[in-house]
Structure 1
Amino acid sequence: MNWLMVVLGALAGAPLRYLTDRAVQVRHTTVFPWGTFGVNVTACALLGFLTGATTAATVPPALQHLVGPGLCATLSTYSTYSFETLRLAEAGAKFFAAANALVSVLAGLGAAYLAGALATALLG
């Protein structure tokens, strides 16, 4: 049953990532990859909330698998983040490459921490 929940979450997460990335990126004229940044931070927040909720209350394993390794793992994308960071550096946009590398990690960690704290406060 766990593998089925992971698959179902992935079926939602992968297209959601692609469509969200495209929808966000076409609205910006900058070279900064806002779409990838947005989906990665969102996935970190969702996973942080799930972790906090699991710590504070009983979350069914099926839901944990659906949201965690299913939805969040396919919503976020480390490979695209890495590729876009390297592409920015190679294109001479070194400031944006460094900003993407640093801000993405800090924002992801911050979102996960804050969402986990929120879940614990709401459910604990």
Structure 2
Amino acid sequence: MLTSLLVAVGAGVGAPLRYLVDRAARRWYPGPFPLGTLLVNVSGSLVFGLLAAGLVAGWAPTWSEPLLGAGLCGAFTTYSTFAHDTLALFDDRRRWLALANVGANLALGLAAAALGWGLGSLFLG
């Protein structure tokens, strides 16, 4: 029961934060590329990489995984919006942007997670 509550609390922060980041990105960059979705996915991957390093090294408490991992990062990052944005670009005949979106989300998300893991291991492990 406590684990479910931790996930809910984290998600209650992560989802509105995702919305605010996306809105700010759309004001800053009104172009067709879904920059807000990319920003939340990359930054969420970085945070999750740090958290994963902390869990493995033992400096992050076990309750932080449901709160910050599944809850905060899970609600902050978004696969469904990434998929929707990509399909919308394809539908709008912006196929190169759609492919760039897929490549950027995958490559930068994985790189950010690895960077988070590396930084967490280096400085806190």
Q: Normalising by the residue count of structure 1, what TM-score does the alignment of the two structures yield?
A: 0.96
- RMSD in angstroms over aligned alpha carbons? 0.9
What is the CA–CA distance in structure 1 between the aligned matches of 2:61 and 2:102, rounded to whole Å?
A: 35
Alpha-carbon distance, 1:82 to partner: 0.3
Q: Does 1:120 align with 2:103?
A: no
What is the rounded CA distance, in whole Å, between the counterparts of 1:17 and 1:120 in structure 2?
27
How far does the alpha carbon of each residue in 1:90-123 deviate from its partner, in whole angstroms, 9 at most, with x for none? Answer: 1011110000011110000000001101000112
1:104-119 equivalence runs, <5 A: 104-119=105-120
State the 1:58 CA deviation.
3.3
Structure 2 residues without counterparts, runs of 5 or longer: none
* 8 A contact 1:48–1:114 mirrored in 2: yes
2:89 corresponding residue in structure 1: 88
- The residue aligned with 1:50 is 51
Please say if residues 57 and 123 of structure 1, whose CA atoms lie closer than 8 Å, have aligned partners that are also in contact: no
By how many angstroms is 1:57 displaced?
A: 2.4
Deviations 1:34-88 (A, max 9, x none): 0010001111011001001111223212122110000000000100000000100
Stretches of 4+ aligned residues off by more than 4 angstroms? none
1:2: how far off? 1.1
- After superposition, where does 1:49-88 map in structure 2 within 5 Å? 49-88=50-89
Number of residue pairs matched by the alignment = 124
Indicate if the aligned counterparts of 1:55 and 1:120 stay in contact, CA closer than 8 A: no
Structure 2 letter corresponding to 1:77: T
Q: Once the 2 structures are TM-superposed, how far is the Cα of residue 29 of structure 1 from its aligned partner?
A: 3.0
The answer on whether the counterparts of 2:59 and 2:124 sit within 8 Å (CA) in structure 1 is no
Runs of at least 5 residues in structure 1 that lack an aligned partner in the other structure: none
Aligned residue identity for 1:51: A
Identity of aligned residues (%): 39
Residue identity matched to 1:84: D
CA distance in structure 1 between the partners assigned to 2:30 and 2:15 by the alignment = 24
